Copies of this chain bind each other. A is one copy, B any other.
């Protein structure tokens, strides 16, 4: 058994967003400062935390929200990371070129420099989540970002439903998985369906921790965002429920479904070695039999 600990303290800013970009940024900053004051070495924000969740409609004017990387947002958050000496995980609408946009997470090291970025690989498209209109699927693959706080395996929202993404990030050396997220309920659906959805969301991510023997953190936005006037949608109640679980999928902390909260949790990265020794899934993967995973389906 390993007898040392390698502690990492993670802060998650579960935030409610408004139409004011300036207010959203101030709210993010306050959350980051709070997490750092409470000892966080890595702080993560929710998906597209700079604005309302604009994908409730397909509207070309929303592309005005996009910005380059590096750009104004990375300048602001990079400076904040440097000031606070914290590893920071942000999410933004990346303008890569005219007509080419991504849903991108940017990781800053504690010196404020961009340590790396991840472009969301799996793009959803459902009523009120029209992301395929806005985001080209990522082309950077599943590469953890090396930082002074470890290799951060950043994946984004819809990615969390795909065990393949978690596995590849772990195989590429992630010390933990971290999912900026924007997921919520259509409140016109019945309560039992809403409960199943939230539970499934926790369950499948906890399973990524188990399958790969690494901690998982997910940071979701929270609260109601009304549907744009031109749509017939009923809006989205983002369900919060941000959490951190350990290497066996055990819940370490969980935020409420109906309120902002910053959660600060310490995980023991050295426990990955212990857990993978008793559950040696990487030893036994039948990689020789997985070729068909590169197909869309079996027929």
Contacts and interface: CB of A to CB of B under 8 A. Distances in A.
A162 interface: yes
Contacts of A158: 284
A282 B294 contact: no
Contacts of A211: 161-163, 204
A39 to B, nearest CB: 24
B163 A207 contact: yes
A164 B293 contact: yes
Interface residues of A, number: 54
Interface string A97-127: 0000000000000000000000001111010
A290 B168 contact: yes
A292 B171 CA distance: 9
B171 A167 contact: no
A294 B286 CA distance: 8
A162 B285 contact: yes
Copies of the polypeptide in the assembly: 2
Contacts of A290: 164, 168, 293-294
Nearest to A283: B125
A209 B118 CA distance: 28
A168 B278 contact: no
Contacts of A162: 211, 281, 284-286
A284 B126 contact: no
A286 B137 contact: yes
A296 B287 contact: yes
A154 to B, nearest CB: 15
Given A200-B249, A298-B171, A164 B206 contact: no
B293 A293 contact: yes
A20 interface: no
Contacts of A210: 161, 200, 203-204
A141 interface: yes
Contacts of A297: 171, 282
Interface in A236-276: 248-250
Given A126-B278, A203-B207, A292 B250 contact: no
A241 to B, nearest CB: 15
22 contacts: A121-B286, A122-B286, A124-B284, A141-B289, A162-B285, A163-B167, A164-B167, A164-B285, A164-B286, A168-B289, A168-B293, A168-B298, A171-B292, A171-B298, A172-B292, A196-B250, A200-B249, A204-B249, A206-B207, A291-B294, A293-B293, A293-B294
Interface of A: 121-124, 126, 137, 141-142, 158, 161-165, 167-168, 171-173, 196-197, 199-200, 203-204, 206-208, 210-211, 248-250, 278-282, 284-299
